[in-house]
Amino acid sequence: MTSQARRARLTAGARWSALVILAVAALVFPIVFTNPVLTNYGVFALIFVTASSAWNVFSGFSGYISLGQAVFFGSGAYAVGIAARDWHVTGTAVFALLPLAAVVGAVIAVPFGLVALRVRRHTFIVITIAVFFIFQLMAFNFSFTGGSSGLAAPFLPWQAATYNNPFYYIALGCAVGIIALAWLIRRARFGLHLRAIRDDEDRARGLGVRAMRVKLAAFTLSGAVTGLIGGVWFLYLTQVEPQTGFDPLFDLSIVLMAFFGGLGTIAGPVLGALIIEPGQLYLTIRFTNGYYGEILLGAIFLVVVLFVPRGIIPTGGEWIRRLTTRGRSALPPAEPAEVKPELRDPASSGPRGGAG
Amino acid sequence: MATQIYQAIVDGILVGGVYALMAVGLTLIFGVLDIINIAQGILVVLGAYLSYSLSQRLGIDLFVGLLITVPAMLVLGVAIQWAFIRPLRGRERTSMTLLVTYAMALIIEGVLYRIYGPDDKQLTASYVTSSVHVLGFYLPYIYLLGFGLAVVLVVALYLLLYRTRFGRSVRATMQDQTAARLIGIDTSRVAALTFGVGVGVTAVGGMMFGATSGGFNPNSGYDLISRLLAIIILGGLGSIGGALVASVFMLTVVSLVDIWSPTWANAVFYAALVLVLLIRPTGFLGRQAVRAQ
């Protein structure tokens, strides 16, 4: 018992120290690696950490797989772009528009959710795809979105060498925010309701979960965060077109990241995004013609689904547990050495003899 | 104006036949295996490229070439199902199969880029560009042939499902997999063959798509899959007749809207889907109860 408690305390301690080390590493990353090429990887990775975690808070917890997150991402980007253009916002003042991106994401999520969340499973997935294409077409066809040439962000008078750093820290703030939020939700009654819906929605409703309200709240939250990070992404790239803001590959990438790391876990989407997004970026830069990266990505995808079907975090945890339990079965030979001093105490030798 | 509307309706029905050819495979695979095959879009494009190679390199007629492409795609379908979809079980199967088929789509797309490059290709034949003038309507030969082929294929699939021993075991598997296995049906063989038939039929849809789309490239699959999904949801998931009805309905609506505003015609496609599902969540010919598996 005591050794088990000690081990639990040890793993908890290890987890906290790992978290602290990770946080420090994330904070000093742009200071240590000043090369803009590397910080660029960091910014994109953190944008996708945020987007994938936001997806996970709704889809991972509730089991409703949304393939329409780009609706919020693109809308957030366009909201910042249109506001900056029409209100003549220039310079660093554009960052004050980022909350608007979150609000727009949330405002779109409510009617979208009210329509889509009436249906389940495959039909839900397909409706999210359909809504996604409606938004892409709107971005193409309306005049206030700038049509197929899209929008450009105001010019930021920053030096090229450190241009990425403010974006890095903004994206880091967003990522930490959604991770903390996901952690809180998972522990709260709200998170429990979501997981009850995932396991058996009808039974959850029978037990008094207001399913529609809970799903809609999670969907709206997810939409707001995705909209916000879409705004950050737009200011970083300084431009958005209908096919980049509303990109079907964006939807599938964040889903892959969450699956890769482990669906419904907190660390899963983070780990998935940190591995896959830099990898994808590297492949795109390395193979400019694109198709080798595509084939490789698909192959990795297949390997993950077939051999690590529940994601790295759950499967990895299982391996570690198996390793530690194997350690325990190997304990008895080591035990006498540990217990020997206690053997001098006659009281403890009794039960030991019984167990042996 | 009136003739314009009539012509639009005729066009919509004919193009609907082409879409039905692409959608039946998707809905058949869903009905039996309970999975959404995201790779359907790229499989259509693959079918188009196979026909392209046969007609350009070997000079084989498009329709005759189907005798080669359909069996080839059938074998490919069985192989994909056997290697990548059969091993997936458990609670996350729905989303897992989605990801696996998406991965397949990425790989096939990459390979097509490697072989054919990013430029638009088109299937050509004497009957692709010419049309016949009947009762004041212009009817392109290729659409007439395609629509006939669509009807023939739907009827053939019905006969396969309702008049053969294989069809009976397919329908039994559709209704209740466990019970089907208990009465001695090899359900994994049924699943593999159904996937193969679904992909094989898609070769026909691919040839028609290649001949009528006005140019295709390896990237064409994305736009296609979303439209095909809209069609099979609207028709009722798993319903082959529903896929035909929904294709004709959707494409007629698109063709009518196209008269007034070509830019918004595609949005109507998805808006119609959302509207219909709000009124009737199971689609036109869908079964009332969603199967719990």
List phi, psi (to 5°) of B205: -60, -35
Report CB contact under 8 Å: B111, A289. no
The per-residue pLDDT for A354 is 37
Residues A116, B277: Cα–Cα separation, whole Å: 9
Chain A nearest-CA distance from B267, in A, is 5
The per-residue pLDDT for B199 is 93
Higher pLDDT, A344 or B32: B32
Chain A's closest residue to B86, CA to CA, is A306
Tokens 């094989």 map to which residue?
B200
Q: In 3-state terms, what secondary structure has residue B133?
A: strand
The answer to whether domain B2-279 has CATH 3.40.390 is no
pLDDT at B231 > cutoff 60? yes
pLDDT at A51 > cutoff 90? yes
Report CB contact under 8 Å: A301, B102. yes
Tell me whether residue A155 is in a domain: yes
Highest mean pLDDT among A113-127, A187-201, B84-98 belongs to: A187-201
Report CB contact under 8 Å: B92, A310. yes
The per-residue pLDDT for B284 is 63
> What's the mean pLDDT when you consider all of chain A?
81
Element (H, E) at B140: strand B137-140
First and final CA of chain A: distance in angstroms?
Answer: 18
Residues A54, A102: Cα–Cα separation, whole Å: 12
- Which band of pLDDT confidence, cut at 50, 70 and 90, is reported for residue B286? low
Tens of pLDDT, residues A132-172: 888 888 888 888 888 888 888 888 878 877 788 889 999 99
The per-residue pLDDT for B49 is 92
The per-residue pLDDT for B94 is 72
Partners of residue B222 in chain A, C-beta under 8 Å: 248
A350 by Cβ neighbours in 10 Å (0-12 / 13-18 / 19+) ranks as: exposed
Residues B47, B186: Cα–Cα separation, whole Å: 29
Chain B nearest-CA distance from A5, in A, is 33
Q: In 3-state terms, what secondary structure has residue A310?
A: coil
The per-residue pLDDT for A231 is 93
The per-residue pLDDT for A290 is 62
The per-residue pLDDT for A107 is 94
Here the tokens at position A12 are: 């908890």
Q: How crowded is residue A56: how many other Cβ atoms within 10 Å of its Cβ? A: 29
- Which band of pLDDT confidence, cut at 50, 70 and 90, is reported for residue B91? low
The per-residue pLDDT for B220 is 84
Q: Residue B221: which region, alpha, beta or left (left: phi > 0; alpha: psi -120 to 50)?
A: alpha
Give chain B's contact residues with A (Cβ, < 8 Å). Answer: 30, 36, 84, 87-88, 90, 92, 94-96, 98-100, 102-107, 109-111, 113-114, 222, 226, 229-230, 233, 237, 263-264, 266-267, 269-271, 273-274, 277-278, 281, 290
Element (H, E) at A178: helix A164-187
Q: In 3-state terms, what secondary structure has residue A246?
A: coil
Indicate the residue of B100, B110, B270 with minimum beta-carbon distance to A294.
B110
Q: In angstroms, how far is CA A229 from the centroid of its own chain?
A: 12
The per-residue pLDDT for A351 is 41
Give the helix ranges, DSSP H, for B34-89.
40-57, 62-80
Partners of residue A310 in chain B, C-beta under 8 Å: 92
CB distance A178 to A227 below 8 Å: no
> What's the mean pLDDT when you consider all of chain B?
82
Partners of residue A314 in chain B, C-beta under 8 Å: none
Report CB contact under 8 Å: A121, B270. no
Tens of pLDDT, residues A298-320: 887 788 777 777 777 777 777 77
A123 by Cβ neighbours in 10 Å (0-12 / 13-18 / 19+) ranks as: buried
The per-residue pLDDT for B224 is 85
Higher pLDDT, B56 or B288: B56
Tell me whether residue A196 is in a domain: yes
CB distance A69 to A51 below 8 Å: yes
CB pairs under 8 A between A and B: 124
Partners of residue A259 in chain B, C-beta under 8 Å: 95, 99
Mean pLDDT of the region A272-279:
86
Q: Which domain holds residue A124?
A: 21-326
Partners of residue B41 in chain A, C-beta under 8 Å: none
Tell me whether residue A223 is in a domain: yes
Residues 6+ apart with CB under 8 A from A338: none
- Which band of pLDDT confidence, cut at 50, 70 and 90, is reported for residue A341? very low
The per-residue pLDDT for A227 is 95
Chain B interface includes A288 (CB < 8 A): no
Residue A302 vs residues A185, A282, A294, B26, B124: alpha-carbon distances, Å: 31, 20, 12, 21, 36
B77 by Cβ neighbours in 10 Å (0-12 / 13-18 / 19+) ranks as: buried
Here the tokens at position A190 are: 């709200």
Indicate the residue of A127, A137, A302 with minimum beta-carbon distance to B277.
A127
The per-residue pLDDT for A220 is 95
Q: In 3-state terms, what secondary structure has residue A17?
A: helix
Report CB contact under 8 Å: B110, A263. no
The per-residue pLDDT for B124 is 78
Chain A nearest-CA distance from B101, in A, is 9
Partners of residue B98 in chain A, C-beta under 8 Å: 65, 125
Give the helix ranges, DSSP H, for B131-186.
141-163, 165-175, 177-182
Indicate the residue of B87, B90, B270 with minimum beta-carbon distance to A133.
B270
The per-residue pLDDT for A350 is 41
Here the tokens at position A159 are: 């030096």
Tens of pLDDT, residues B102-160: 888 888 988 888 888 888 888 877 777 777 777 777 777 888 888 888 888 888 888 88
Mean pLDDT of the region B59-84:
88
Residue A307 vs residues A316, B90, B96: alpha-carbon distances, Å: 12, 14, 12
Residues 6+ apart with CB under 8 A from B181: B187
Partners of residue B107 in chain A, C-beta under 8 Å: 294-295, 298-299, 302
Residues A77, A166: Cα–Cα separation, whole Å: 18
Q: In 3-state terms, what secondary structure has residue B134?
A: strand
pLDDT at A344 > cutoff 50? no
Residues A225, B68: Cα–Cα separation, whole Å: 51
pLDDT at A222 > cutoff 90? yes
The per-residue pLDDT for B285 is 62
- Which band of pLDDT confidence, cut at 50, 70 and 90, is reported for residue A343? very low
Partners of residue A262 in chain B, C-beta under 8 Å: none
Tens of pLDDT, residues A52-92: 999 999 998 988 888 889 999 999 999 999 998 888 888 88
Residues 6+ apart with CB under 8 A from A274: A45, A49
- Looking at chain B, the whole-number percentage of residues with pLDDT higher than 90 is 9
- Looking at chain A, the whole-number percentage of residues with pLDDT higher than 70 is 88
The per-residue pLDDT for B283 is 63
Indicate the residue of A130, A255, A289 with minimum beta-carbon distance to B230.
A130
Residues A66, A251: Cα–Cα separation, whole Å: 8
Tell me whether residue A16 is in a domain: no
Total count of domains within chain A: 1
Indicate the residue of B100, B114, B230 with minimum beta-carbon distance to A302.
B100
Report CB contact under 8 Å: B229, A298. no
What is the maximum span of chain A, computed from C-alpha positions, in angstroms?
Answer: 89
Residues in chain A: 356
The per-residue pLDDT for A221 is 94
Residues 6+ apart with CB under 8 A from B188: B86
Indicate the residue of B36, B264, B269 with minimum beta-carbon distance to A125.
B36
Tokens 């990522």 map to which residue?
A175
The domain spans of chain B are 2-279
pLDDT at A339 > cutoff 60? no
The per-residue pLDDT for B291 is 39
